[in-house]
Structure 1
Amino acid sequence: MSSNKRPGGRILPVRRLTPQVDPQQQFEKLATAIGEIYKHNASQLSFEELYRIGYGLVLSKNGALAYDGVRGVLETHLGELVHSSIIGHAEAARAGPSPTNNEALLSSVRMLWSEHVTAMLIIKDVLMYVDRVYVKNAHLPSVYEMGMSAFRDQVLLVADRRLITGVVKAVLGQISNERRGIEINRSVLRGVVDMLIELQDTEQLRPLYETMFEPQMLLETRAYYHEMASARLNDHGAAAYTRAAQDDIDAEMGRVRAFLAPSTGTALRNVLLDELIAKHASQVLSIPGAGLQQLLDQRSGDALGVLFGLYAPLPAALEILQSSVFGHIQEQGEKFAAALAPISPESPQTLGAAAKTAMALRWVQEVLGLYDVYDEFLHKSFGGSHDMRKVVNDAFIQLINANNRAAELLSLFIDDNLKNGLKRKSEQEIDHLLERSVLMFRFLQNKDAFEHYYKVHLAKRLLHGRSLSDDAEQSMVSKLKLECGSQFTLKLEGMFKDMQVSADLARGFKDMGALDELGFDMNVSVLTPTFWPALALPTTEDAKKCADSIRLPSLQLRNAVDEFNKYYLTHHSARRLSWQHSMGNADIKIQFGTRTHELNVSTYQMLILMLFADGEDDASLTTSEIQQRTCIPEAMLMRQLQSLACAKYKILTKTPMSRDVGLNDRFSFNDSFRSPQYRIRIPVVAAKNVVESEKEKAESMASIGRERQYLVEAAVVRIMKTRKQMVHEQLVNEVIHQLSAQFLPTSTMIKDVIGRLIDREYLQRSPDDPRLYNYLA
């Protein structure tokens, strides 16, 4: 028995027979529906039926009829609407471009666009199957895109693009009206601009907004603000001009947010910055009587913030601003320096040491005050800009180092504050003062010169007990250590350690009871010579001999010295004490007639007064006799006698009566001395920390020069010990690099040091290349 069933075959469904439908007739229904959609009667249509029509046309191979036919219907309909609702407004706006005519034209275009978009969204949904099948296979624009193209071609680009030209002019006119303060309808502009953004230019394949509107808008904006800038420069100061410029930018950015494309924002801002700022950057800053200098002098932080915000995006303008700020700081520095002119040896004015010192301290205070002002500008006006901070710092570096006494004056300033200026100051104020002092120190190029002066001033404070706060002293050293490293503060920390050790020795000596029978207390500061400056410890052999041979007129004093020597040597047998009386002080009670006063005097003054303790009332001694009995160095003796006989408190009487002291002048005890104070401090003439004389400065610079020689030698040896062999230029550069934190050695100085090290056989020139050095030691 045979079978007709095919192996692996399947049963096909029965083909459904449908009546023949006329495609043209079906499209007419679709065209009629499109007309109803434009008439806002879409609610009365059957979308299912319309969808089936499109579906059927595609299935029956009539997709082109549906697609091209819809395009034709749209073009016809849009053409009719243009003539009925837009052309009239366009002609009116062209004839009289008033705000009313412009808005009427833009409103009509926006209305037609809005209706067309709404209609196309419906038509797109109805012809969804046409899009998915026919359009995709034919590689055509979607129905919605086709509708947008139809609007572009039939509405905007008709009549040689006159309509779109009129629309663009109308939009630009409305923007111009708003700039002049005339109120406009922004929502209408938003709709028109959205239309230009969505519609593509057929020639450039970019939105009409970018090809026909934005370039023209930027050109007109440039022209408007070009005229505006010229007018404002004639009657605005820098603050008012930049404030108005910022307001203009804010207004334009508001328009971008309200109705322009976001992409226009950057280009529009650049146009305004170019016309209002870049082209007039220098002129704005130099407006007579109202430029940058006045803003800085008046500390107009808000105005400077606006100005900086406008200049910062423009590299060329920012450079002009930075140059102007740098110049202002230099001008202020020149004013400060002019106030210091009386200190100069060339000055015809004759001022006392106290007056000169006050001027020097005021210079430092003014420099730090100016930096505080600019620091506030940097934080509040310049937005913490690193570039502006660099400019400000560079300007202060130049300002400070232009004064060849800067290191000395800064040390004097710190000394004065640590002795007198911390009273009634909070911890925050003290820390701010020290921070600012360290900042100025950071700007110094010759930091080793500051170290020299700071050691001298610190030595006096420690030995005379003049510092108001040990915590502040330690804090200052810690800040310097943090700034320059432990090597820089090694001697300073050694001085503090010596004072601590001395205090422990004093307690131990007192507990031993050696002074109980002498009737007075004695505190001895034991100093390590390598830590303390030459001012505290004599350096020449003659000075050392004189220091050891000072004659103590009292047996009690000699016994006290001997007792301390014995006590110290029992604890430190391998050491030797060298007594330096020049830095000591004493409290002594003296009876003047019936009244007794307690005098705080230097050790040398005490020795002088003790010469008159047991003498007759009319006993007198010459300067030479006093020098022979005490062995006080002559120059120092003159100052001590001036303090006792020629200053405010005349403990001794001098014959003849004059300000200067001669070797043959005669001194006697002033029994008639009177003062309302019981305790009186007798300061040594010129013993205060004051601005150095030219002779003293020369001596200090010589001392600093010798120290620099040692530092350069140490650096050369250290480098060569590591490298073993180096070319001259490389060695010089490396030495400068290593020492630049302390001072800037010259090439000549380094060359001289290298020559001495070769003579001392630390280095050797290569026999093959004289520029090459070998390390020997």
Structure 2
Amino acid sequence: MSTAKKRNIKIEPFKHRIDMDSKHADKTWKILADAIHEIYNQNASGLSFEELYRNAYNMVLHKYGDKLYSGLMTTMTVHLKDIAKAVDGAQGSLFLEELNRKWADHNKALQMIRDILMYMDRTYVTNARKTPVYELGLNLWRDYIIHAPKIKDRLQGTLLELVRCERTGEVINRGLMRNIIKMFTELGSSVYQDDFEKPFLDEASNFYTIESQQFIECSDCGDYLKKAERRLNEETERVSHYLDAKSEAKITNVVEKEMIDNHMQRLVHMENSGLVSMLVDDRFDDLRRMYSLFHRVPTGLTTIQDVMTSHLREIGKQLVTDPERLKDPVDFVQHLLDAKDKYANIISMSFNNDKTFLNALNSSFEYFINLNPRSPEFISLFVDDKLRKGLKVVNEDDVEAVLEKVMVLFRYLQEKDVFEKYYKQHLAKRLLSGKTVSDDAERSLIVRLKTECGYQFTSKLEGMFTDMKTSLDTLHGFNSMLGASGDANEGPTLAVQVLTTGSWPTQAGARCNLPREILAVCDKFKAYYLSTHSGRRLTWQTNMGTADLKAIFAKGQKHELNVSTYQMCVLMLFNSADCLSYNEIAEATDIPSSDLKRCLQSLACVKGRNVLSKEPMCKEINEEDNFYFNEKFSCKFYKVKIGTVVAHRESEPEKQETRQKVEEDRKPQIEAAIVRIMKARRILDHNNIVAEVTKQLQARFLPNPAVIKRRIESLIEREFLERDKIDRKLYKYLA
């Protein structure tokens, strides 16, 4: 079987060969020129575009492209000059309408001409590096219409006047404006920018300079910001309707500069309506608007932040130094928490939760809270008030919320160890009196403190809870022993908590002469405890105890009085005496003077709880006073709690004593930090030691450089460190 060879057949179009001389070229161009005239005169319906295309094709093919191109330019120029006269002759509002109509006609004509001369565009124009037909038509329109001497300034002025009218509230033909602006952009970005955008921006700058100055003279800050916001929105809307999208950033920059940047300082400091007034009155909408607008300019947020910080520090300083506020520690801390909530809420709702503003808030609170050296004590007293079980019923969720807020204030404290000292005292009183809201709430705060400051900070606090649990087991064993010996019903009942020295804020000098009846049962417990725990020593902390006494008043009225140990010692003296002087009570009980005065004040001077009466009758306790058992005392309740008059704040001597204890506790911590640093570095100069010690200890307290220097001297004396023989400020670690 044979196979035939496959043949490739190519079919070429029929070539109608025409020889073209110059006369024929002139004739052909005359046909094309007439067609272009008809197109511009809108009589193109009778034209044969195929024939016209072939004529143009033949001219280019026979090297008459230059004649065709130059003839096109001449013909279009003639028509454009006529169009310029027609546009210039249009009066008033018809000017833009005529220009828009002629532009649409020109565009339509260009598209037809471009189709006819497509072959010229592809070959001659490319080879001769000429401007393409459509682009040529745009350039000629620019030169003979837009840049015509009689049209250029008139067009620019008309457009700017329409924008000005719209800014003043008049309604304009936005569709017409959009078409004219689109014409500029189609003619090229440089035409749009030079012939419209630049004068538009200059005009806007002048307009808003004048308007902002006029408006700021007669408006408050809030109204001015609303006006600025409205103007920005208007300009953005204007861009979306008829301007080039790239103009949005430029025009908004103009408005921002003229209406916001140039008046920022005046706005934030406006009396009765500026930033401070907005902050004080919680004007969230105005603050949100100010933040949003000032965010647009380079130093806007810094300006707001500086004024807010200055205001915060000023009100905070007044708050922590106001003598009236300092009278009530709980109210003092509550005002701090309220202020913190207020400004945190403002930052959240109006300042977009901006971190720089949150940092400014925190730094301001840290600044003024530490202006008052009693802030740690007051915060601890506030916690004591919230965690102490009283008449008020406290929801557990509310307690958790309060503790979380307190921890925020705690973080601001530079002397966290001072807070620890007071907190330990107040916690001890709550635990020993059984007046804590709940162990869970107490432990929740301790967990928070441990997370914040580490295990060492809370180890003693946790030891207090351990002692309370162990004491229950010990007391259970003691009561079992009394029951077995038959002494359970003899004498008073004793409940004891055994506290570990070092974990509890016990007073080494706490003294009191206990009544004979109490001493007997105390001795029994002591004997029991020491028999089960050899090598230990018990010291009675009478300042921390409570007692329940049964008392009989006039007409046989009976009450059970819940009192402190000191109050019990005083009251039991009246079993054998009707009248006792202050000095007699002091000698019989041996209670420290300050404690005794508070004890007697609560027994004799508190209305409704005055189981004693005194002469002379006044609120103060003096050494010349005499005290009597108040037989007329009555109360509708059988059980009566006689609270001790609490020293909400320490007296000056007590404050000095606490401060001294804190300073003593700091010494070994500073020395330990110095040794740690020197052991790692071996050799270090004085300034670097101070800097590193401060860095290590700042989580608990800010050590005084003078104290650090004294501790270094102490370590040198004990031969932990030595000075360099040449440079006295250089220290060496002695291994």
Task: Output the TM-score relative to the length of structure 1.
Answer: 0.85
State how far apart, in whole Å, the 2-side matches of 1:289 and 1:129 are: 75
User: Residue type of the partner of 2:603?
Assistant: L
2:127 to 128, 134, 137: 137
Q: Which residue of 2 aligns with 1:553?
A: 516
Matches within 5 A, 1:10-21: 18-21=17-20
- Paired residue for 2:667? 709
1:416 aligns with 2:418: no
Count of matched residue pairs? 719
Task: Give yes or no for the alignment of 1:595 onto 2:595.
Answer: no
Q: Report the alpha carbon displacement of residue 450 of structure 1 after superposing the two structures with TM.
A: 2.0
Task: Sort the Cα spacing of 1:562 and 1:337 in 2 relative to 1 into closer, same or farther, 3 A.
Answer: closer
Shift in CA distance, 115/733, structure 1 to aligned 2, threshold 3 Å = same
Deviations 1:288-325 (A, max 9, x none): 33322322222110011111211122233433322222
In structure 1, distance between residues paired with 2:712 and 2:523: 48
Instruction: Could you tell me which runs of 5 or more consecutive residues in structure 2 were left unpaired when the two chains were aligned.
Output: 1-8
Instruction: Provide closer, same or farther for how the CA distance between residues 640 and 395 of structure 1 changes in structure 2, counting only shifts above 3 A.
Output: closer
**Cα separation, partners in 2 of 1:342 and 1:216, compared to 1, 3 Å:** closer
SS at match of 2:455: coil
Q: CA deviation at 1:215?
A: 1.6
In structure 1, what is the equivalent of residue 229 of structure 2? 246
Deviation, 1:642, is 3.9
Matched residue, 1:349: none
Residues in 2 aligned to 1:326 and 1:14: alpha-carbon distance in whole angstroms:
85
Aligned-partner SS, 2:731? strand
Post-superposition Cα deviations, 1:608-627, rounded to whole Å, max 9, x if no partner, equal 333444x4xx5555556555
1:544-603 deviation line (CA, Å, top 9, x unaligned): 6x47xx54411xx44543454455446544543322121010122222241110100112
Q: Aligned in 2, Cα 1:26/1:173: closer, same or farther, shift over 3 Å?
A: same
Percent of aligned positions that are identical? 37
Question: Does 1:274 pair with 2:243?
Answer: no
Asked if structure 2 preserves the Cα contact closer than 8 Å seen for 1:761 and 1:776, the reply is yes
CA distance in 1, matches of 2:436, 2:474: 21
Q: Name the counterpart of 2:643.
A: 683
CA–CA separation in structure 2 for the residues paired with 1:132 and 1:527: 104
Distance 1:372 1:757, change over 3 A: same
2:186 is the alignment partner of 1:198: yes
Q: Does 1:402 align with 2:374?
A: no
CA contact (8 A) 1:422 1:468 kept: no
| 1:452 and 2:421 correspond | yes
Partner of 2:19: helix, strand, or coil?
Answer: coil
1:79 touches 1:154 (CA, 8 Å); kept in 2?
A: yes
For residues 421 and 155 of structure 1, the distance between their equivalents in structure 2, rounded to whole angstroms, comes to: 91
Q: Secondary structure at the match of 2:457?
A: coil
- SS of residue paired to 1:680: strand
Letter aligned with residue 153 of structure 2: T
* 2:633 matches 1:673: yes
Matched, 1:114 2:104: yes
| Amino acid aligned to 1:74 | M
Partner residue of 2:455 out of 486, 493, 496 = 486
TM-score, normalised by the number of residues in structure 2:
0.90
Please say if residues 457 and 689 of structure 1, whose CA atoms lie closer than 8 Å, have aligned partners that are also in contact.
no
Whole-Å Cα distance in 1 between the matches of residues 53 and 11 of structure 2?
Answer: 28
* 2:335 maps to 1:363: no
How has the CA–CA distance of structure 1 residues 112 and 632 changed in structure 2, closer, same or farther, with 3 Å as cutoff?
same
What SS class does the counterpart of residue 140 from structure 1 fall into? coil
**Distance in 1 separating the partners of 2:325 and 2:412:** 25
What is the distance in 2 between the residues matched to 1:716 and 1:139? 83
Check the 8 A contact 2:494/2:522 in 1, yes or no. Answer: no
Per-residue deviation, 1:188: 1.1
Q: In structure 2, what is the Cα distance between the partners aligned to 1:512 and 1:126?
A: 123
Deviates more, 1:734-743 or 1:50-59: 50-59
Q: Deviations over 1:659-717 (max 9, x none)?
A: 666678665544443333211111223xx250222222222222222223232122112
Deviations 1:423-444 (A, max 9, x none): 4555554333222222122222
Tell me the alpha carbon deviations over residues 217-268 of structure 1, each in whole angstroms, 9 at most, x when there is no partner.
1111111111111211221100001111110111111111111122211121
Measure, in 2, the Cα distance between the counterparts of 1:470 and 1:750: 39
Letter paired with 1:20: D
Alignment partner of 1:28 is 2:46: no
Which residue, 282, 286, 302 being the options, matches 1:319?
A: 302
- Residues 129-208 of structure 1: pairs in structure 2 closer than 5 A: 129-159=119-149, 162-200=150-188, 207-208=190-191
SS in 2 for 1:280: helix
- Cα distance, 1:733 vs. partner? 0.7
Q: Deviations over 1:458-483 (max 9, x none)?
A: 22222222222333322222223333
- Secondary structure at the residue paired with 1:517? coil
Q: How far is 1:722 from its partner? A: 2.3
Please state how far the C-alpha of 1:30 moved relative to its aligned partner: 2.9
CA contact (8 A) 1:553 1:610 kept: no
Contact 1:551 1:631 in 2 (8 A): no
The CA RMSD measured in Å over matched residues stands at 3.0
Structure 1 window deviating more from structure 2 (233-242 vs 471-480): it is 471-480
User: Structure 1: any 5+ residue segments left out of the alignment?
Assistant: 1-9, 93-100, 201-205, 344-355
Distance 1:17 1:656, change over 3 A: closer
Is the counterpart of residue 608 in structure 1 residue 598 in structure 2?
no
CA contact under 8 A between 1:340 and 1:363: conserved in structure 2? no
Say if 2:365 is the partner of 1:388. no
Of 306-315 and 41-50, deviating more is 41-50
Find the counterpart in structure 2 of residue 698 from structure 1.
Answer: 656
Contact kept in structure 2, 1:198 and 1:207, CA below 8 Å: no
Superposed displacement of residue 35, structure 1:
3.2
Q: Distance in 2 between matches of 1:215 and 1:493?
A: 74
Is the contact made by 2:319 and 2:325 (CA closer than 8 Å) also made in structure 1? no
Report what 1:218 is aligned to.
Answer: 201
Q: 1:708-758: CA deviations, max 9, x gaps?
A: 323212211221222222221111111111122222222212111111111
* Deviation (angstroms), 1:27: 3.0
1:522 paired with 2:510, answer no
Whichever residue aligns with residue 640 of structure 1, its letter is C
State which drifts further: 564-573 or 672-681.
Answer: 564-573
Q: Provide the residue aligned with 1:96 in structure 2.
A: none
Distance in 2 (alpha carbons) for counterparts of 1:176 and 1:422: 71
In the TM superposition, residue 12 of structure 1 has moved relative to its aligned partner by: 13
Q: Which amino acid aligns with 2:162?
A: Q
Equivalent runs, 1:464-483 vs 2, <5 Å: 464-483=433-452
What is the correspondence of 1:492-507 to structure 2 with a 5 Å cutoff?
492-507=461-476
One-letter code aligned to 2:636: P
Deviation, structure 1 residue 137: 1.9
| Contact 1:422 1:430 survives alignment (8 Å) | no
Q: Deviations over 1:514-569 (max 9, x none)?
A: 47334765332222222222xxx123xxx26x47xx54411xx4454345445544
| Conserved? CA contact 2:678–2:684, under 8 Å | yes
Does the alignment pair 1:305 with 2:277? no
Contact 2:560–2:638, Cα closer than 8 Å, also in 1: yes
Q: Secondary structure in 2 aligned to 1:598?
A: strand
Deviation by residue 1:345-400 (Cα, 9 ceiling, x = unmatched)? xxxxxxxxxxx22xx33232222212222112101111122222222222222232
| Worse-superposed segment, 173-182 or 428-437 | 428-437
